[in-house]
Each structure stands twice: as structure tokens, then as C-alpha cells.
Amino acid sequence: MRNPWNLVNKRSVFLLVYLSVNVAVAQVYNSSISSATAGTGRATVEAGDAAFLNPASLVHLRGRYLWSSFADDELAISLSDNTPETVIPAALSYFKKRDKISTGELNQHNFSMSLSEFVIDKVSFGVTGHYLEQKLPNSSYRQINGDLGVMYTPRPHVGLALVAYNVFGEKNDIPKELRKKFHLGAGFNYIYKNVARFRLDATSESVFMAGLETYATPFLITRFGYQNDIIDKRELLTAGLGFKGPRFGLHYAYQGGQQSSADYRHSVDLEIPF
């Protein structure tokens, strides 16, 4: 007869590993546009990614945008402003997520503010401040951190980016699995004759991402991507469809993991310029 305690112990180990992969490694939030292109977007200009992937892109985001994203147990909202009356381009954002982990239900609430401006011609700089609350059934933790981003656009159809995430480092008085770690991200963006856009991103955590967008019409966009996390041996295939009109944008993303069913995700974004 099998010892039931062995089964419990095995499940506990699995859940701890699951927590480590999905909380500690997933350092940044991705919009549906980014998710559909495998997590790329540090060198692109999108209302849903500026406050999460690279604040330096805010200066290129002309006008005001209200953006929201919905996924299973996830919600993100962002309000950005870069109009002629604005002193400095800025964005306020909020993100919440609920996870089932070994110690119970984990609820995360992330509040952030981003600012951006040109430092020299074609080079922009951005900063994001984060306030993160993490709540478990019998405990809660708070983390304050920040991101720094640089974006270089030598041509209107070319973008290069470098971002430092969680520049204040880890907070040592909270469980290691919940800490937000310092890491770097880089991105490349190339638009080909307004019919396709190529994206390449990588992080210092050995995560490599490639994405492709094709414009079937001026408003209808198809997206595909591939991500490879070498250290964790985790691969993702992604796809999505988007509509970007003059009054609103609607974007859908799907990602599928090759090894774990926990990697499957659907999300929908709504983007409203005003």
C-alpha cells in the first residue's frame, strides 16, 4: 500500500516549484499585444506595454490612452498622458493577480507610476516606481521597487531598448519565492513597409523571445511568437489577433506551453485613445 504522506510530500514539492516558476520568474506583466508576440515589446510603442515593459516608450505615445486587460484571475488598467499640455509624459497603472499556491491563495496588487522624456535627440529615458502588495491567508508583504528604461530610435521604423527591472534589488525579509529580482531586458523592433513588424527581446535570465506582426488591413493585425526560457527549460508558442481603429483597439492573445498546462493563457485588451 502506498504511503499517503509520500504523495503529500511530492505534491508539496511540486507546488513549491510551481510557485517559484510562476511568481519569482514572471517579473513583468505583458499586455495581450506583448503576450501574442511571446513577451516582446521593450522597443515598441504600445499603450498597454509602456508602463510595464519599458517606460522610455511613453514619450512616443502621443495623446491620452485608457487601457485595460483581462485574463483568468488577472486585471490590469493603465492611464497615460502625452499631450501638448502635459509637462512630462506620464502613466498610472494598476495590476492584480490571484494564484493558487501551496500555502493558500496569493493575491497580488501592483500600483505604479511611470515618467518619460527625451534626453538627447532620438534617445528617451523612462522611470517606473512600483508599490506591490502580496497577500496570503496568514501573512502579507509589501515591496517598493523601480524600473529604468532607455529607448533609441535611429529611424522611424527601427527601435532599440534596454531596461533594468527592480533596480532596488530583493527585499530580504520576505519569502524568497515572492521576491522581485533585479534583471535586465533588451529589445529590438523593425517595421517593414507598414505590412509587418519584427520583434526580438531577451533578458539576463536567459529568456529569448521572437515575435511577428502582420497587417492584413490598416486596422487588422495578426500576431505570432516563440519564447524560450533556457534556464527553466520552458518554451511557449503564442498567437493573437488585434483590431486597432481610430476610436478604440481590441486585442486577443493566446499562449501555450510545451511542458506545463499552467502556461496556457488567454487575454483580451481594450484600448481607448481620447
Please give the domain boundaries of the chain with CATH numbers for all domains.
4-273 (2.40.160.60)
Q: What contacts 64, CB < 8 A, 6 or more positions away?
A: 79, 80, 81, 82, 83, 273, 274
Would the pLDDT of 12 be above 90? Answer: no
C-alpha 99/C-alpha 141 separation (Å) is: 15
The pTM of the full predicted model, rounded to 2 decimals, is: 0.86
Q: How far apart are the first and last CA of the chain?
A: 66
C-alpha 18/C-alpha 99 separation (Å) is: 10
Q: What is the pLDDT of residues 199-215, one digit of tens each?
A: 999 999 999 999 999 99
Q: What is the pLDDT of residues 248-257, one digit of tens each?
A: 999 999 999 8
Residue 240, class by beta-carbon neighbours within 10 Å (0-12 exposed, 13-18 middle, 19+ buried)?
buried
Which has the closest alpha carbon to 152: 126, 114, 171, 127? 126
Grid cell at residue 141: 508583504
